[in-house]
């Protein structure tokens, strides 16, 4: 597992419709330790998705740096796995082939990568769906596939862009608990973007509040693991932490 | 540590982007025509460099001159009018037959079983294959050409009408019936409006096919019209006029489709929230 | 690998599927058979002049004759060969070009009106100029077919690629896909439903262009067979030709193209734009 370090990261782009430069991110400095789970929350338009896109390498940074374990990034790559809000599974590949895509790109042979894919599908409880196509699965199942597809590539850092926003509320709670289970098992470094404050607090070691492209606040979450919704929903620590974060977000 | 700062003043590239956006918003048609500029330019260049012999590959200038001459002689407007009139007559007849036929097939299971296979078979035969026997029956004239157009327009319209009817929410039909609508009223008030977006698509396709069928008929059979212009020019060995004919064809269809048909299709579908874009 | 169901269950399912297909084929043929009966009835009842419309028997006989003396086979062979060559070249150039244009969104939207313009003009309208450039015969006809397939397929490939969600392409990139992998694992499969629709439409234009071109530009092929029979009022040959053309296209479209379209779109649950 590796650390993720952002140093004075900034991102501006030109909006031809307004005729001005727009600053999406400004002076973002953040250090995420190996194995740490960090949530980023903020009001709409605060730049959190842009932040993820820059770290993932889909957008170039305008200033500052992004480093994975001291090495600066260049473009997208298997060291930073991404889980998308829209799942972004390949509709023309089976679930097994989707999960095995990363290994395939690295040149792993058919038998070996099928074995790897099956292992990860079992981790997500989806071994029975290996031969199905994404269109045949529910939203929750598709996103599970999305998560293990990114994990099967053994990335140094896992970036998650509001991954559960397109899933129904009940499934969301289940997926959150599963994510924690997988994270505890794998000790992955995770950056999790969301607009859902309780979700952010539930999952993370630390919650970062972003506003207008700047880091407003960082709040540590010291709740015990493993965390379960049934326990935490009445927990005073959890409730006060959530309230604090929500306050910060709304004041931003 | 040096921090890169983006230039706050818009540079040249940014100004170009803004200009393009504004052009696209104010004059979308002009913006849509822009890609043709490099095409015309490379055409002009290829002809000017005489990559192919001039007789085989004339340039845009030659075509424009030819167009002016034909307009002056009154030939181009007359042929254009002929072609368009035939298309309108044929298409209207075709649509007038196709929509009721489509409604019948769409609503009656029995009609569907009996009529669907012959429909598919005759669609497979195609309009062109009918020309020889039509020439025997009706000779080289308007009847033959109208038949071909009606035939071609028929199938897309029928098929899309049936599709439209099949995709009407059955609850709408039940609602109409429970509100006391007779069969005839239901067709007029519910079925036809419900299938309208698909019918419009079918119309648009049908006109496209009909246009092509018209040209084919005029090339093989005609005595006037744009297709005949091209065929006659071929006999005379005049590539310029053939090119002129093709450009007129393409432009005419493009204009009709983009400015008349597509907006109508969009207006019916989107207005009623039935088609997602 | 996970297998679905045991072998016995699978073959039972397959034979059910076969039975259903046979049944639908029969239901398809019955109205056509009915049509033939009506045809025979009308011709004999109204004593229709064979120079106006042939009887069923005369068409049948003409068919047998032309099969046995080899002419029908030669005509069909010539037509199918031209279609095959023209379509292959059209696909070989059209698909890569369309994909290349579709990759960069700005390029796609810039060239889209251009390709669309030409796809509207595809096929028959090129016959006069094709005969002037290539003379009569194989070259001109194959060019018309190539043209019909090329523009439509290129346009659809362009549309197909530009309709692949950016996030799916990003996902492939962040999973380590290089340029080749991106093309063959993402762009091509992603655009495939559109491409197949393009192939189906393009071949429809090509088929009609073929028949039209063969009527005026050559001395072998189904279109030619049809057109010359007219000179001798041999309506039975004309009707035979029409039936053969209809059956050939039905076979091509229903047995090859439509299933291809079904398999790609439905199985993958993708919506064509």
CA A199 from chain centre, in angstroms, equals 12
* Cα separation, B194 vs A123, whole angstroms: 48
Same domain, yes or no, for A42 and A94? no
User: What is the C-alpha radius of gyration for chain C, rounded to an integer number of angstroms?
Assistant: 23
Same domain, yes or no, for A100 and A163? no
Model confidence pLDDT, tens digit, residues A82-97: 999 999 999 889 999 9
Q: What proportions of chain A, in percent to the nearest 5, are helix, strand and coil? A: 40, 25, 35
The structural domains of chain C, ordered by start, are: 82-219+247-268 (1.10.3720.10)
Q: Are the Cβ atoms of C129 and B136 closer than 8 angstroms?
A: no
What pLDDT shows up at residue B277?
34
Same domain, yes or no, for A127 and A100? yes
Reported as a pLDDT band with limits 50, 70 and 90, residue A186 is confident
What pLDDT shows up at residue A207?
95
Q: Is residue C232 less than 8 Å (CB to CB) from chain B?
A: no
> Which of A154, A174, A189 is where one domain is finished?
A154
Same domain, yes or no, for A120 and A147? yes
Same domain, yes or no, for A123 and A205? no
A189 within domain boundaries: yes
Q: Are the Cβ atoms of B6 and A19 closer than 8 angstroms?
A: no
Domain that holds residue A23: 4-79+155-251
Put the strands of the sheet holding A4-15 in their side by side order: A20-32, A4-15, A63-68, A71-72
Reported as a pLDDT band with limits 50, 70 and 90, residue C4 is very low
CA B84 from chain centre, in angstroms, equals 12
What pLDDT shows up at residue B275?
47
Q: Is residue C118 less than 8 Å (CB to CB) from chain B?
A: yes
Chain A residues in contact with C269 (beta carbon < 8 A):
91, 133-136
Same domain, yes or no, for A93 and A53? no
**Structural domain total, chain A:** 2
What pLDDT shows up at residue A94?
92
A172 within domain boundaries: yes
Which positions 228-267 of B are in contact with C (Cβ < 8 Å)?
A: 230-231, 233-234, 237, 239, 242-243, 245-246, 249-250, 253-254, 257
What pLDDT shows up at residue A245?
92
pLDDT less than 50: residues of chain B: 1-6, 275-277
List strand residue ranges (DSSP E) for chain A, in order: 4-15, 20-32, 37-41, 63-68, 71-72, 80-83, 157-161, 189-193, 206-211, 214-220
Mean pLDDT, to the nearest integer, of A22-42? 92
A84 within domain boundaries: no
CB B71 within 8 A of CB B77: yes
What pLDDT shows up at residue B1?
36
The structural domains of chain B, ordered by start, are: 60-271 (1.10.3720.10)
Same domain, yes or no, for A172 and A215? yes
Same domain, yes or no, for A137 and A179? no
- The CATH number given to whatever domain includes residue A53 is 3.40.50.300
Q: Is residue C48 less than 8 Å (CB to CB) from chain B?
A: no
Q: Are the Cβ atoms of A14 and B21 closer than 8 angstroms?
A: no
CB B145 within 8 A of CB B86: yes
Which positions 190-209 of C are in contact with B (Cβ < 8 Å)?
A: 205, 207-208
Q: Are the Cβ atoms of A92 and C270 closer than 8 angstroms?
A: yes
Minimal C-alpha gap between A219 and chain C (Å): 30
Q: Is residue C113 less than 8 Å (CB to CB) from chain A?
A: no
Chain B residues in contact with A62 (beta carbon < 8 A):
4-6
State the ipTM, two decimals: 0.83
Model confidence pLDDT, tens digit, residues C8-48: 666 777 778 788 878 878 888 888 888 889 888 888 888 88
Q: Is residue C188 less than 8 Å (CB to CB) from chain A?
A: no
> Which of A115, A135, A154 is where one domain is finished?
A154
* Cα separation, A121 vs A106, whole angstroms: 19
Neighbouring chains of C at 3+ CB pairs within 8 Å? A, B
CA of C63: how far to CAs of A218, C71, C219, C240, in Å? 86, 10, 19, 6
Which positions 6-25 of B are in contact with A (Cβ < 8 Å)?
A: 6-8, 10, 14, 17-18, 20-21
Q: Are the Cβ atoms of C31 and B215 closer than 8 angstroms?
A: no
Kindly report the pTM of this predicted structure.
0.83
Reported as a pLDDT band with limits 50, 70 and 90, residue A233 is confident
**Residue B25: closest CA among chain A residues belongs to which residue?**
A17
> Which of A154, A174, A203 is where one domain is finished?
A154
Neighbouring chains of A at 3+ CB pairs within 8 Å? B, C
What are the residues whose beta carbons fall under 8 Å from the beta carbon of B8, sequence distance 6 or more?
A21
Same domain, yes or no, for A168 and A246? yes
Q: Is residue C180 less than 8 Å (CB to CB) from chain A?
A: no
Same domain, yes or no, for A98 and A112? yes
Q: Is residue B143 less than 8 Å (CB to CB) from chain C?
A: no
């Amino acid at each position: 597992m590796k650390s993720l370090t952002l140093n004075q990261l900034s991102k501006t782009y030109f909006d031809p419709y307004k005729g001005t430069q727009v600053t999406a991110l400004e002076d973002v400095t953040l250090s995420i330790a190996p194995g740490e789970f960090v949530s980023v929350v903020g009001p709409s338009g605060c730049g959190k998705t842009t932040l993820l896109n820059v770290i993932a390498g889909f957008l170039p940074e305008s200033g500052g740096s992004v480093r994975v374990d001291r090495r600066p990034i260049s473009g997208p790559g298997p060291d930073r796995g991404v889980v998308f809000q829209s799942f972004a599974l390949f509709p023309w590949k089976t679930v097994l082939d989707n999960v095995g895509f990363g290994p395939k790109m690295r040149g792993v042979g058919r038998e070996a990568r099928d074995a790897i894919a099956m292992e990860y599908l079992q981790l997500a409880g989806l071994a029975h769906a290996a031969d199905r196509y994404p269109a045949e699965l529910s939203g929750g199942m598709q996103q599970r596939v999305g998560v293990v597809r990114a994990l099967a590539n053994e990335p140094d850092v896992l970036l998650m862009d509001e991954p559960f926003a397109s899933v129904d509320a009940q499934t969301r709670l289940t997926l959150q608990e599963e994510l924690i289970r997988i994270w505890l098992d794998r000790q992955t470094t995770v950056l999790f973007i969301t607009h859902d404050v309780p979700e952010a607090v539930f999952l993370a070691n630390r919650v970062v509040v972003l506003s207008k492209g700047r880091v407003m606040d960082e709040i540590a979450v010291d709740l015990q693991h493993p965390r379960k919704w049934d326990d935490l929903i009445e927990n005073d620590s959890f409730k006060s932490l959530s309230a604090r974060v929500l306050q910060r977000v709304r004041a931003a | 540590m040096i921090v890169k700062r983006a230039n706050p003043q818009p540079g040249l590239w940014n100004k170009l982007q803004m200009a393009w956006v504004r052009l696209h918003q104010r004059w979308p048609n002009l913006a849509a025509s822009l890609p043709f500029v490099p095409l015309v330019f490379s055409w002009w260049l290829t002809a000017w460099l005489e990559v192919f012999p001039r007789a085989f590959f004339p340039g845009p200038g030659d075509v424009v001159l030819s167009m002016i001459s034909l307009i002056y002689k009154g030939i181009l407007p007359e042929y254009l009018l002929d072609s368009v009139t035939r298309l309108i007559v044929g298409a209207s007849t075709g649509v007038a037959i196709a929509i009721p036929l489509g409604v019948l097939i769409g609503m009656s299971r029995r009609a569907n079983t009996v009529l669907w296979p012959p429909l598919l078979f005759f669609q497979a035969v195609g309009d062109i294959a009918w020309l020889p026997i039509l020439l025997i029956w009706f000779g080289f004239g308007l009847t033959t050409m109208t038949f071909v157009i009606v035939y071609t327009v028929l199938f897309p319209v029928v098929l899309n009408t049936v599709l439209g009817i099949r995709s009407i929410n059955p609850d709408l039909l039940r609602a109409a019936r429970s509100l006391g609508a007779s069969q005839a009223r239901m067709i007029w008030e519910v079925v036809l409006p419900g299938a309208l977006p698909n019918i419009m698509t079918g119309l648009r396709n049908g006109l496209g096919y009909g246009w092509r069928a018209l040209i084919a008929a005029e090339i093989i059979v005609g005595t006037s019209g744009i297709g005949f212009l091209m065929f006659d020019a071929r006999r005379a060995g005049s590539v310029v006029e053939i090119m002129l004919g093709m450009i007129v064809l393409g432009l005419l269809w493009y204009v009709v489709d983009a400015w008349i048909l597509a907006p109508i299709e969009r207006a019916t579908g989107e207005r009623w929230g039935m088609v997602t874009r | 690998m996970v297998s679905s169901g045991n072998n016995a269950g699978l073959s039972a399912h397959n034979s059910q599927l076969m039975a259903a297909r046979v049944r639908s084929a029969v239901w398809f043929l019955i109205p056509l058979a009915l049509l033939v009966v009506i045809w025979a009835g009308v011709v004999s009842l109204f004593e229709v002049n064979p120079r106006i419309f042939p009887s069923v028997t005369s068409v049948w006989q003409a068919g047998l004759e032309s099969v046995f003396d080899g002419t029908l086979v030669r005509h069909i062979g010539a037509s199918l060969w031209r279609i095959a060559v023209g379509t292959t070249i059209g696909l070989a150039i059209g698909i890569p070009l369309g994909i290349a244009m579709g990759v960069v969104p700005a390029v796609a939207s810039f060239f889209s009106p251009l390709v669309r313009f030409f796809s509207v003009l595809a096929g028959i309208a090129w016959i006069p100029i094709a005969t002037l450039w290539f003379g009569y015969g194989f070259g001109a006809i194959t060019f018309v077919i190539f043209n019909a397939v090329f523009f439509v397929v290129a346009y659809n490939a362009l549309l197909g690629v530009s309709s692949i969600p950016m996030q799916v392409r990003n996902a492939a990139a962040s999973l380590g896909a290089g340029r080749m992998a991106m093309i063959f694992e993402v762009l091509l499969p992603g655009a495939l439903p559109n491409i197949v629709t393009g192939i189906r439409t393009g071949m429809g234009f090509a088929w009609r262009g073929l028949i039209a071109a063969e009527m005026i530009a050559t001395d072998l092929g189904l279109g030619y067979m049809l057109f010359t029979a007219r000179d001798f009022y041999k309506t039975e040959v004309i009707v035979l030709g029409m039936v053969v053309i209809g059956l050939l296209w039905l076979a091509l479209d229903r047995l090859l193209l439509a299933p291809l379209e079904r398999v790609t779109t439905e199985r993958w649950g993708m919506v064509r734009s």
